[in-house]
Amino acid sequence: MTIRTIAILGAGNGGLAAAADLTLQGYAVRLYSRSERTLEPIRERGGIELIEGEKKSFAELSAASTRIAEVVPGADVVMIVAPAVAHAGLAAALAPLMNEEQILLLNPGHTGGSLHVASVLRGLGVKAKICETVTLTYICRAVAPAAVEIYRRTSNLRFAGFPGKATEDLTRAVSELYPAVVPAENVLETGFSNINAIMHPAGMIANAGRIEAGEDFFFYSDITPAIARVIEGVDRERLRIVERIGLPPLSFVELFHRAGLTSDSARASGSVYQAIRESAPNRAIKAPRTLDHRYVHEDVGYGLVPMAEFAGALDIETPVMDELIASASAMNAIDYRREGLTLEKMGLAGFRQKDLATMLHQGF
């Protein structure tokens, strides 16, 4: 298919970067946000300033609207660039607007995102061509209203469709936008490679006191050996699940390196501590100022919870994940086990391991 028009749902860091980048590539981009306050400066300036390296560019968007029905119809690609907690609501809003020719791209899918969105759409009688990236296509931050800086573009970007039988065609189409996409076996391979879910919860929980006290520190480069060891524990448990369902058992350090996020020497060492300390694209990123943040809500509720749900169904123990989920739930007074992404919400309640690969390939 020929892609001309792209609807981007979400105007956070990633949404702004995608809208500006793809506009400057020559696509007609329509941006949706539920926040009028977020879109107002974009409308006032007529677009988004993009900073990358030493270069500043200005992208004039086709449209910016708080009405999803004004941006989705007629778009060749509908791209969700929003926290996983927004997936269900956006899927429900998209149901009456999508047609079967449109590509629905989750950038990224987090863990189980495509399954969750497909399950919501199926419940509303809608089928769609759904695909996801393993992580966000950009390391970026909004630096001012209507301005975003891209520090790095993600490399070796694993990508999968749901159903999996559509992955080849979808990879061919989406590679026009993002040449770094590499086809994965299925959406569990991308979902279980969710580096944010592996990495962020330990740092947020261990630094909860510093965050609540308003300390100014670097979330990644100020990592401590103890936090790194907790991340290693999460990764060991994740790898047991990955091996059980027959997917490539790539370590966190390997995934981090393949995404272009750390040094060759860190990859060779196999050290989580060294890999995060030597992450040049993440070096300048400060810690969140609050625990009411997607590093907890998303990376626990929609990262660790679905991983632990799979583990429970496969009789695999995950004590480190379980402790992080319990601690995050207590800290934020949110039951992430209940509010997060469960097997039932992914349409996989009572799944049988022997049928899983076929279902992922064929779809619901």
DSSP letters, 194-229, are -HHHHHHHHHHHHTHHHHHTT---BTTTT--HHHHH
Using one digit for the tens of pLDDT, what is the confidence trace for 67-97? 999 999 999 999 999 999 999 999 999 999 9
Give the C-alpha separation, 340 to 36, whole Å.
27
pLDDT, one tens digit per residue, over 171-183 is 999 999 999 999 9
Find the catalytic residue in 110, 200, 257, 297. 200
Class of domain 195-362: mainly alpha
Name the DSSP letter for residue 271: -
Kindly tell me the burial class for residue 122, based on how many C-beta atoms sit within 10 Å of its own C-beta (0-12, 13-18, 19 or more): middle
- Strands lying side by side in the sheet with 55-59: 55-59, 48-52, 147-153, 138-144
Q: What is the residue-averaged pLDDT of the chain?
A: 96
**3-state DSSP helix/strand/coil % of the chain, to nearest 5:** 45, 15, 35
Whether 299 is catalytic = yes
Write down the catalytic residue from 235, 257, 297, 299.
299
Burial 289-299 (b: 16+ CB within 10 A, else e): eebebbbbbbb
CATH code 3.40.50.720 region(s) in the chain: 5-191
**Alpha-carbon gap, residue 83 to 194, rounded angstroms:** 13
Residue range(s) in the chain whose domain bears CATH number 1.10.1040.10: 195-362
Q: What is the DSSP letter of 301?
A: I
Q: How many CA atoms lie within 13 A of 270 on its CB side?
A: 5
Burial category of 168 from C-beta neighbours within 10 Å (exposed 0-12, middle 13-18, buried 19 and up): exposed
Q: Exposure string (b/e) for 97-113, b if CB count within 10 Å is 16 or more? A: bbeeebbbbbbbbbbbb
What pLDDT digit, counting tens, does each position of 289-329 carry? 999 999 999 999 999 999 999 999 999 999 999 999 999 99
Q: What is the pLDDT of residue 217?
A: 97
Which whole number is the average pLDDT over 89-107?
96
Q: How far apart are CA 82 and CA 255, in angstroms?
A: 22
Q: Is 276 helix (H, G, I), strand (E, B) or coil?
A: helix
What are the tens digits of pLDDT across the range 112-157? 999 999 999 999 999 999 999 999 999 999 999 999 999 999 988 9
* Omega cis (within 30) before 163: yes
**Which of 339, 346, 347 shows the shortest CA–CA distance to 85?**
339
Instruction: Concatenate the DSSP letters of all residues of 73-104 into one string.
Output: TT-SEEEE-S-GGGHHHHHHHHTTT--TTSEE
In this prediction, residues 44-57 reach a mean pLDDT of 95
In the DSSP assignment, the letter for residue 281 is G
CB 252 within 8 A of CB 195: yes
Mean pLDDT of 34-46: 95
95 token code pair: 């149901």
Q: Do the Cβ atoms of 31 and 62 come closer than 8 Å?
A: no
Does 361 score more than 90 pLDDT? yes
Among 211-215, 265-269, 357-361, whose mean pLDDT is lowest? 357-361
Tell me the CATH architecture of domain 5-191: 3-Layer(aba) Sandwich (3.40)
Confidence at 339, pLDDT banded by 50, 70, 90: very high
Q: What is the DSSP string of 144-195?
A: ETTEEEEEEEPPSEEEEEESGGGHHHHHHHHTTT-TTEEE-SSHHHHHTT-H
pTM of the model as a whole: 0.94
Confidence at residue 364, expressed as pLDDT on a 0 to 100 scale: 85
74 vs 99: CA distance, rounded Å: 9
pLDDT of residue 1: 77
Mean pLDDT of all residues in 245-268: 95
Query: Do residues 3 and 177 touch, judged by C-beta distance below 8 A?
Result: yes
The proportion of the chain whose per-residue pLDDT surpasses 90, expressed as a percent, equals: 94
Instruction: Give me the pLDDT at residue 323, please.
Output: 98
Q: Cα 310 to chain center, whole Å?
A: 19
